[in-house]
Amino acid sequence: MSLPLRLLAVGLLSMTLAGCGGDHAPLPTVEHVDLDRYLGTWYEIARYPAPFQEGCVTTRATYSPRDGGGIRVLNQCRVETLDGELREAEGRAKVVDRDTNAKLKVSFFWPFYGEYWVLGLGPDYEWALVGEPSRRYLWILSRSPRLDAATFEEIVGRLPALGYDAGPLMMTLQPESP
């Protein structure tokens, strides 16, 4: 198994185990996610550092329906620079909370699944805040490679109430246009 695949496997195992235990208060999600509106491409604006994303820039995720149900996930990034080697990982997601559609499980390496919870969502699905119960992982996503400063600060301002610290956030290098 290549190093990127090993890192991905370790990261997913960590995400799977992350939901086990911990002394955090329950993590609230958004009230409802319209999955049809959520599908499409999301650009990573910022994230908590994660071994399975080591060296990734221009990170984006594309969600689409899978034949037979569920969601196809295609994560892509460039290594180190805007024109670096393209790294891709294809996975699948399944909704685990049908009342809200805000709690999903994602797998890039069967049989391991990681928690993917939508914690915040722009009114027009222009941005999303995604995390998981242990608070070890966090992503700020946008429909475009850039997010205006006021919106970014408003999202970051929500973190303490969710039990997240803004300190570990790292900005993701993105091109000027998609």
The pLDDT tens digits for 112-128 are 899 999 999 999 999 99
- Rounded Cα–Cα distance for residues 15 and 60 (Å): 19
The model's pTM: 0.86
| Positions in the chain whose pLDDT score sits under 50 | 1-21
15 within 8 A of 133, measured Cβ to Cβ: no
pLDDT recorded at residue 21: 42
Closest residue by Cα to residue 104 from 79, 69, 80, 59 = 69
- The encoded tokens of residue 82 equal 């805007």
118 within 8 A of 102, measured Cβ to Cβ: yes
Please report, for residues 69, 86, 132, 135, the alpha-carbon distance to residue 116 in angstroms, rounded to integers and kept in the order given.
Answer: 17, 24, 6, 11
- Rounded Cα–Cα distance for residues 97 and 70 (Å): 13
Closest residue by Cα to residue 116 from 65, 61, 68, 78 = 61
Please name the helix (run of DSSP H) or strand (run of DSSP E) that holds residue 116, with its range, or none.
strand 112-121
Closest residue by Cα to residue 90 from 65, 113, 108 = 108
pLDDT recorded at residue 22: 53
Closest residue by Cα to residue 88 from 76, 78, 79, 71 = 76
pLDDT recorded at residue 2: 39
pLDDT recorded at residue 111: 82
- Rounded Cα–Cα distance for residues 155 and 122 (Å): 9
Side-chain-side CA neighbours of 173 within 13 Å: the count stands at 13
